[in-house]
Structure formats: C-alpha cells, structure tokens
Amino acid sequence: MNSAASIEQQVRSHYPHALSETAFRDRVFQFLDKEHCGNVSRVLLAIAQCADDVNAVHDADVTLVKRHFRGNLLGPFEMGGLAGIPYAGLTGISTIAHHIPDGGSALIVYGPHIYGPHIGITDQGDLGKLLRPGQHLESAACGSLTLAVRHLGSSPDYQPRDDEDDAEQMLLERRLLPYRDEILSAAHPLKAATNVAYTLIHELIHRYLRARKDEFRCESLVLAGGVAINTDARHADYVDLRHLSTLRLAEI
Ligand SMILES: [Zn+2]
C-alpha cells in the first residue's frame, strides 16, 4: 500500500465521503459551468476559510482554478478569519453584492478552499493535527477550534472574554458556547466542534444573504460548503463536501 492510498484510507475512516481536492474542484466547477452555460467570466469568487497558513495553499489552487477557466473567475473576496467564520458579516455580503460585475453572479465557497472549517490529519490517522512545512513535530489544526475546545472544557462556567484584541477567537467561542455539552461529550470533541462550526458558517452565510438579498442585482448565486481535511505537504488535501447548490435570491 503506497502512502497516498494510505492517507486516503485514513481520511475516509473519519470522513467516508471525502473527495480529493481535485475531485472537489471538478465537482464545484462543473456545477458552476452548467449553471452559467460555460460562461463564468462574470462570476465573483467569495470565500470563508480559516486564516491558517495551511489553507494558503488555496491561493495557489485559486490560481489553478482561474487558469482552468482561462483566468475568468474574479476575486476572491475574503469573508473569513479564524475557523472560517465569516466575520465580514452583513457588510461583507453587501460588499460582495456591490462587486459582482454587471450581468454576473457570485460563487460563495466556505471551508475547504471554499466556505467552512478545516481539520488536520496525520499519516497515522490522528485527527486534529498535522505536520507543517519546516517543522518536525505535529501541531494542531484547526488551532483556533482546538483552543476553543480547550477553553470550553476548562470550566463549566467558562465565558469568552469581551476582548477587542482577540475578537475573532472570542466571537468563535461565543458562537460555540450553546453547543458546549454536545462538543465536550463527543467521542472526538474537535471533530464535533468542526461539525458545529460548519453548521454555524452555513447558517450565517444564509442569514446574511437573506438580510441583504435586495442589494444583489443577480438572480442567483452558487454556494459550496464543507470541511477541509488538511494532510501534510506530501499529500493532497481532502474535502468533505456538504453543500453545493444554486440559491435563487427571490426564494430565500
Ligand atoms: Zn484554523
């Protein structure tokens, strides 16, 4: 068994339906292509993903994706920060609405090089950490969600601080707080927190779109969301694709 097959099996033991990055990208862009009759030259890409540099690989991917569409895809507009929460909020969605080219549309992707959270995996199949380039010891991924789970478990009375100097982490923890028991009682608390974060991000994006839908001049958007599973630099990443749809703004 070669190492690539092995990491795929490790990923699938946690996420049975995970797609390779390439398969994921093909799935999303075939869908986008169909929705736009092969003309994506007026589609603005907007993403909500964790600020973690392990996802910076995504920037190269965006370039590849752009090249695949002959450099026609616009953006990306970055909505996210720690753990992929779309901190840009209502103003971010309004800005996307106003940046879409005339007669164009948007692809909003959350998580795996799209919209949503991410989680690391080691060659041994340990979830929640990975070996980063230039390091010899594994470290946490998502570090932000790992810290949040640690804080939630530190005391039954834990309350995130109101701290402008740590605003994203504290807001993430505030949003996770109602799910504290669900997360801490799970067999794998970080995996549970990642799932909760995905649902939160998905709901936030939809809530912001409902609130600001009148500012869009296009009729529909394509949304793609899921959880990114980061491996070390020797392997491609994987994506647990959880949402891919066309959203008709008049119907939300
Ligand atoms: Zn992260």
The reported pLDDT for the residue numbered 2 is: 47
Mind listing the pLDDT tens digit for each residue in 27-45? 888 898 887 766 677 888 8
State in Å: Cα 111 to ligand 1 middle: 10
Q: What is the pLDDT of residue 235?
A: 84
Cα 21 to middle of ligand 1, angstroms: 18
Q: Which is nearest to 159 in space by CA: 177, 144, 184, 141?
A: 177
Query: Which range has the top average pLDDT, 105-114, 133-142, 178-187?
Result: 178-187
The predicted structure's pLDDT at residue 5? 52
Q: What is the helix (H) or strand (E) element at residue 239, kind and residue range? A: strand 238-248
Distance 142 CA to ligand 1 centre (A): 4
Domain locations along the chain: 3-244
Write down the pTM of the prediction: 0.90
What rounded mean pLDDT belongs to the chain? 87
Mean pLDDT over 161-188 rounds to 97
pLDDT tens figures, 107-133 = 888 755 555 799 999 999 999 999 988
Could you give the CA distance from residue 115 to residue 82 in angstroms, rounded to a whole number?
A: 12
Query: How far apart, in whole angstroms, are the C-alpha atoms of residue 178 and residue 181?
Result: 8
CATH architecture of 3-244: 3-Layer(aba) Sandwich (3.40)
**Higher-pLDDT residue of 117, 60:** 117
